[in-house]
A and B are shown apart, each in its own frame.
Chain A
Amino acid sequence: MTIKGKAYIAGIYEHPTRKADDKSLAQLHAEVAKGALEDAGLTRADVDGFFCAGDAPGLGPLSLVDYMGLKVRHMDTTETGGSSYVIHVGHAAHAIAAGKCSVALITLAGRPRAEGMATGTAPRNYGSAAPDVQFEYPFGPTVVNMYAMAAQRHMHEFGTTSAQLAWIKVAASHHAQHNPHALLREVVTVDDVVNSPMIADPLHRLDCCVITDGGGALVVVSPEVAKRVQRPRVRLLGAGEAPKHQMGGKIDLTYTGAARSGALAFAEAGVTPADIKYVSIYDSFTITVLICLEDLGFCPKGGGGRFVEDGNLISGRGRLPFNTDGGGLCNNHPANRGGMTKVIEAVRQLRGEAHPKVQVPNCGLALVHGTGGSLGTRHGSATVILEQE
């Protein structure tokens, strides 16, 4: 069963907060849900499907539908870290196409800043029952050094440079200057990035995304519901998801699950990379964007460094505008999970509602890609392709 044309994104909302000392986690979920439903012109009573992931408190959907007072007939809690919400879009379309729900609400929220979490630099112990933990955690894997090992290997195999990676942050900062909610609005240069402190070789501080509180929500609806929603219509054309892992010790850090998830999404949508006018790519680190651009087919494997150079990702200047809200590198990275905000900015672009300084002219087709987990160990890749109808 294809989901092509079977679902629309009718509502989006990105919480404006970047530090939520005075809000609870459940409250943030409810606030973004309210925002996305108002954006769509729908109400809580219309919601009959609910989607959330590992950032949800308590028993996930049970705790949140209880808190929000929702009555739903379909739930999905697929958890692949920060790419979960991109996967949820595809799953919502499947559920809608199968008649399981007609208005699916997807929420994400978190408050790592308020909680003082050492997001990227402290080793995370997922518990001794996780089969990999005893063979990895004692060695001190962190979010940054795991992505750093992928970057190091990419540099070794393909000659990618720190300056090339820096162009990704530079492009994000050019976009963030126009976003009043962005955490970092200052335009930076390649020199600023490569001269920022080394966190884990070869990744500098400015190769890393921001840590923020907040969240976001999406409302995915059936074609029938979409007809009565008074918003520009954004239709789902294709979706793909793929795990990538260590393959029993045959580790290859030069590619990601995007090679598979992207191919699936393009095949379902019936379009090619050359057709895409705008991309939202989860930018946990600069290297994440570079490798995913290759794997999605926007440039050859190993050519990512040359592709992103000289502002090629800057809206109005380069060939492939990306993350025009400033992305995770500059704008927002709520709950340490970047997939949600990627979908939101792509919908803004397709509606023509991005900031005028970064709006892509005639933006009819957009790709969203998320990487959840770690490039260095195991991750879930998710790609969706959306069109302006």
Chain B
Amino acid sequence: MAPPKAPKERAYPAPEPNPETKRFWEAAAQGQLLVKKCLACGEVHYYPRALCPFCGSDRTDWQPASGRGTVYSWSVMRRAETPYAIAYVTLDEGVTMMTNLVDCDLDGIRIGQKVRVVWKPTEGGPPLPAFTPA
């Protein structure tokens, strides 16, 4: 009997880190999702920046995120060689990030669904933070 066919998955392009974001992707390689927190105004932001987008301070620091969140919105790209789900996930830390929803039934995704981070290997770069039903 032939082995069950694994669900096809798209190839993930590698993100290109720069000096400002190197730390984020180094942590990603260790399976740790980071967000940025401003030491001046206390706001957490995403995607991470050296200067706080809320108050402009350059006193921002990396902070580990729980890796848990809620689906804010989603869409399955049907018109692709391998259909995939893009989404915004609101982390428990309060920021919303673009991601993919993976390892799940693409027809069962719902706004408000609880999800957790999983890391997906990329083509020659650090892994990507994707999310799967918690």
Contacts and interface: CB of A to CB of B under 8 A. Distances in A.
A250 B76 contact: no
A201 B96 contact: no
Interface of B: 10, 12-18, 20-21, 35, 43-47, 49, 52-54, 72-80, 84, 86-88, 90, 94-100, 111-112, 122, 128, 130
A304 B30 CA distance: 46
Contact of A201 (B10, B17, B78, B128): B78
Contacts, number: 118
Given A139-B86, A140-B86, A248-B43, A145 B15 contact: no
Nearest to A157: B111
Contact of A139 (B18, B94, B128): B128
24 contacts: A128-B16, A128-B18, A135-B47, A137-B13, A140-B77, A140-B86, A140-B100, A144-B77, A145-B77, A146-B86, A150-B73, A152-B74, A153-B72, A153-B111, A197-B79, A198-B78, A199-B77, A201-B75, A248-B53, A249-B45, A249-B46, A249-B96, A251-B72, A253-B73
Contacts of A138: 12-15, 122, 128
B45 A199 contact: no
A47 to B, nearest CB: 40
Contacts of A202: 75
Of residues A156, A197, A202, A248, which shows the largest number of chain B Cβ atoms within 10 Å of its Cβ?
A248
Contacts of A150: 73
Contacts of B94: 249-250
Interface string A139-159: 111101110111011001000
Contact of B95 (A131, A137, A141, A250): A250
A251 B99 CA distance: 14
Contact of B77 (A121, A246, A377): A121
A141 B86 contact: yes
A144 B75 CA distance: 9
A203 B112 CA distance: 20
Given A133-B16, A150-B73, A145 B86 contact: yes
Contact of B15 (A121, A134, A247): A134
Closest 9 A-B residue pairs measured CB to CB?
Answer: A249-B95, A249-B46, A148-B75, A248-B45, A135-B47, A248-B53, A134-B15, A128-B16, A251-B96
B97 to A, nearest CB: 7
A258 to B, nearest CB: 19
Nearest to A203: B75
Contacts of B74: 149, 152, 201
A251 to B, nearest CB: 4
A150 B73 CA distance: 8
A354 interface: no
A117 to B, nearest CB: 15
Contacts of A137: 13, 15
Contacts of B122: 138
Given A137-B13, A249-B44, A201 B86 contact: no
A341 to B, nearest CB: 25
A198 to B, nearest CB: 5
Contacts of B21: 134
A209 B128 CA distance: 32
